[in-house]
Structure 1
Amino acid sequence: MRYAFLLLVLLFGNLHAADRVRLTNGEWPPYLGESLPHHGVASRIVEEAFASQGIAVQWEFHPWARSLKMAEQGLRDGSAVWLNNPQRQQHFHVSAPVVESGYYLFHRKDDAFDWSGIDDLRGLRIAGTRGYDYGDAFQRAEAAGDLEVMRLTSDEQGLRQLLAGRVDLFPVDKVVGFDLLYQHFSPAERRRLSFHAKPLRSDSLHLLLSREVPGNAELMARFNRGLEQLRASGKISQYLLEIQQPLSLY
């Protein structure tokens, strides 16, 4: 009788675990954020994709490096949302794209600017956020000393340095940049800035599920099914439009 009880505990315990996923997260408004509605639009998409498969998400917010490390080690089931690369594929099951990110070069309107390649950025004062990867060509040129890049602690600081005239260019995800300008800068400050129409880099962002956690391959398959259903419903496009509509430089 005792062994039958233990077997039931194990079975129901595994069922419960399969119906919940523990994910780490970080601060990158309006995509991700602990205090944002739905924890940000990317978190909302991840959560609703899982919910369509009968799986609840338990979020934990940590600094980005810690979030990734905890997931990589299998201390949590996974983390949202990240760029896909070969190194991450070694440690994680990588989802279909959750959202798209486009980095653009912001500049002051009174400082005319045009570019078609990395060589056109030479001689210009550029700010960048520490730990951010702005694409292979940019990263190589920075490492070689061909680009003058001042690495700062945050995107907001980069925009303020740009407005102060201390740098000429600042690359930032356009939606993130607009959100920062809308939330933390005055209309007069926003009107002083523009961005070049050519993206510095464009990428998809993904859910990562640790290869150290048993069952995560099947869990990822279920997530991708839910994500495709959510995309087909039109809700993802709707959610992304909702965060962009109130944002403006003007």
Structure 2
Amino acid sequence: MRPFLLLLSLAFSGLLAAAEVTLTNGEWPPYLGQQLPHYGVASRIVAEAFALEGVEVHWEFYPWARALQMAERGQRVGTAVWTHSPEREQRFFISEPVVESAYHFFHRKDRAFDWQRLDDLRGLRICGTLGYNYGEPFQQAERDKRLQVRRLPSDELCFRQLLAGRIDVFPMDKVVGFAMLHEHFSAADRAQLSVHPRALRSDPLHLLLSREVPGNAELMVRFNHGLAQLRDSGKVAQYLLDAQQPLSLAP
């Protein structure tokens, strides 16, 4: 009788451990994207970390504001991937870092550019994308009019302004910028651009699980455990390398 009860208990525990979750997502190649292999490298890391804990992920893609709002209200279990903030910590359980985002200045090769501090950017025509936060020091300098920033509706428009010589520099996540340039611009366009090695800002990006969904505190523990296993296996580093390797400014 005891062996039967033990087997029944183990089977029941296995059923409890298995789960399906629906997470929201957005378009940010190569990290995230509905048409990308594995829905992007960040999505792949999240899904495989959960899979190691017996959790299957289903993705739904929305505009970013809606993706965050649906998760915040508990209409979906969570959303990927986002920066940490005190405001978000009040509404979400925040995971260990999934990927790292680093913003760098893109500029034309035929215009010399170097910078070490924000004051070095004075007098330059800077493009920024509407709604983007480039870090509090930059944001404050923009509010104070110490920096001349022109905000446009999309990253692609900023790149086109840069290529046309109508702006001098454009800050963007370097890897995402390379992906956009490969998708929407020619090799001749890419050959005109360079990227400064100094990062404007660098931030870890996280999975957010809504505090409105029961069981999400425990689910986050499971995710972080799976993420640690995936990272220790070397797969996270390999996936990131595979996603970034074909991307550059070279023709």
TM-score, with structure 2 as normaliser:
0.92
> Which shows bigger deviation, 141-150 or 85-94?
141-150
Q: Give the aligned length.
A: 237
Equivalents in 1 of 2:219, 2:150: separation in Å? 41
Percent identity (aligned): 68
Equivalents in 2 of 1:28, 1:18: separation in Å? 29
Alignment of 1:19-98 (within 5 A): 19-98=19-98
SS at match of 1:100: strand
Matched, 1:220 2:217: no
> Which shows bigger deviation, 231-240 or 16-25?
16-25
Alignment of 1:68-217 (within 5 A): 68-217=68-217
Q: Which runs of 5+ in 1 are unaligned?
A: 1-11
Over aligned residue pairs, what C-alpha RMSD do you find?
1.3
* Alignment correspondent of 1:233: 233
Amino acid at match of 1:246: P
Equivalents in 2 of 1:239, 1:228: separation in Å? 15
Amino acid at match of 1:224: N
Amino acid at match of 1:212: E
> Which shows bigger deviation, 35-44 or 179-188?
179-188
Equivalents in 1 of 2:183, 2:63: separation in Å? 21
Equivalents in 2 of 1:94, 1:22: separation in Å? 16
1:18 to 1:73, Cα distance in 2 relative to 1, 3 A:
farther
Equivalents in 2 of 1:157, 1:18: separation in Å? 45
Q: Which runs of 5+ in 2 are unaligned?
A: 1-11
Deviation at 1:220, TM superposition (A): 0.2
- How far does the alpha carbon of each residue in 1:50-76 deviate from its partner, in whole angstroms, 9 at most, with x for none? 001000011110000000001011111
Equivalents in 1 of 2:18, 2:207: separation in Å? 17
SS at match of 2:247: coil
Equivalents in 1 of 2:112, 2:193: separation in Å? 11
Equivalents in 2 of 1:54, 1:157: separation in Å? 42
1:29 to 1:69, Cα distance in 2 relative to 1, 3 A:
same
Deviation at 1:129, TM superposition (A): 1.0
TM-score, with structure 1 as normaliser:
0.92
* Alignment correspondent of 1:6: none
Deviation at 1:181, TM superposition (A): 1.2
Equivalents in 1 of 2:20, 2:150: separation in Å? 42
Deviation at 1:17, TM superposition (A): 9.9
SS at match of 2:79: strand
Deviation at 1:207, TM superposition (A): 0.1
Amino acid at match of 1:21: V
Equivalents in 1 of 2:17, 2:96: separation in Å? 23
Equivalents in 2 of 1:129, 1:221: separation in Å? 35
Deviation at 1:16, TM superposition (A): 7.4
Deviation at 1:30, TM superposition (A): 0.5
- 8 Å CA contact 2:18–2:54 kept in 1: the answer is no
Deviation at 1:189, TM superposition (A): 0.9
Equivalents in 2 of 1:186, 1:106: separation in Å? 16
* Alignment correspondent of 2:6: none
